[in-house]
Amino acid sequence: MRINDIIIKETADFVILNKPAGMLTIPDRHDNQLDSLQGLLKKHYGEIFTVHRLDKDTSGVILFAKNETAHKYYSQLFEGRNVKKFYKGLVNGQLHPETGSVDEAIMEHPTIKGRMVTNRKGKNALTDYQVLEAFGLYSLVQLQIHTGRTHQIRVHMKHLGHPIAVDELYGTAAPVYLSAIKKNYKLGKRVEEERPLLSRLGLHAWQLQFKDQQGEENVVEAPLPKDIQAVVTQLRKNSGRSTELVL
């Protein structure tokens, strides 16, 4: 993968990229530098500063600072909740009501490492959601997080009883297949096994809104990736129950 292929916006102070699903934001404890976005950026720029993170299987908009002054500014911007962060997610089932908020504190699971739970003893966490399209089997939802807790959206959607599609930690790891969406689905003559439309977490960091160091407003977006878009397209084609909210 070439860094230039995923850059959305770049200035002297920051670079914003469309992170591919399956890539770590920063190296894991095995220190696989080139398996992480930070590692690739360091190789490309020589020096790079991490401001915020996305889960490995979450795709979408992520910002890195290119110097220490910018790192301090953008870190404070994120910590002070002065960045608007919007996601789009494919969730299981239909949410009622179709617009709402989840205000549930989150903490580490007491016994399962790497997993989070809602618990009043945890850190406060607030997520707003709005259903964009409802298909019965799944819904496409826009989500805004006002806090940045680990796995926040995934935990809050599980709390509502509608986990993100293909979420092995908080829902089910089962991929999304066309045969589950399309009635009378048949494999092609030369195809032995059906390939999934979506085989990773159905969550995408869609948009960041913030003021840069010059006071200019920035709105940066990454379109839905091909795998999530493929599911949405098939749901639109094959779901008689689709309702769409136009924003």
152: domain CATH number is 3.30.2350.10
The pLDDT tens digits along the chain (247 residues) read: 788 899 999 999 999 999 999 999 998 766 555 679 999 999 999 999 999 999 999 999 999 999 999 999 999 999 999 999 999 999 999 999 999 999 999 999 999 999 999 999 999 999 999 999 999 999 999 999 999 999 999 999 999 999 999 999 999 999 999 999 988 888 877 777 889 999 999 999 999 999 999 999 999 999 999 999 999 999 999 976 544 544 4
Looking at the domain assignment, is residue 52 inside a domain? yes
pLDDT of residue 187: 81
Q: Which domain holds residue 24?
A: 3-238
Q: State the distance between the two ends of the chain, measured CA to CA, in whole angstroms.
A: 34
| pLDDT at site 80 | 93
Does residue 226 lie within any of the structural domains? yes
Catalytic one of 13, 35, 55, 227: 55
- Residue 183's pLDDT is 83
Let me know if residue 58 belongs to a domain.
Answer: yes
Record the tokens describing residue 45, joined without a space: 């720029």
Residue 22 region by backbone torsions, left for phi larger than 0, else alpha for psi between -120 and 50, else beta = left
Please give the pLDDT value at position 24: 92
CA distance 45 to 32: 18
Does residue 244 lie within any of the structural domains? no
Phi, psi of 73 (to 5 degrees): -65, -50
The amino acid present at 24, given as its one-letter code, is L
**pLDDT number for residue 247:** 43
55 is an active site residue: yes
Give the pLDDT of residue 129. Answer: 98
Report the number of distinct structural domains present in the chain. Answer: 1
Does 245 fall in a domain?
Answer: no
Residue 127 lies inside a defined structural domain of this protein? yes
Measuring CA to CA, which residue among 183, 172, 210 is closest to residue 92?
A: 172
d(CA 78, CA 84): 9
Is the residue at 28 inside a domain? yes
Q: How far apart are CA 208 and CA 164, in angstroms?
A: 21
In this structure, is residue 143 part of a structural domain?
A: yes
Q: How far apart are CA 90 and CA 153, in angstroms?
A: 11
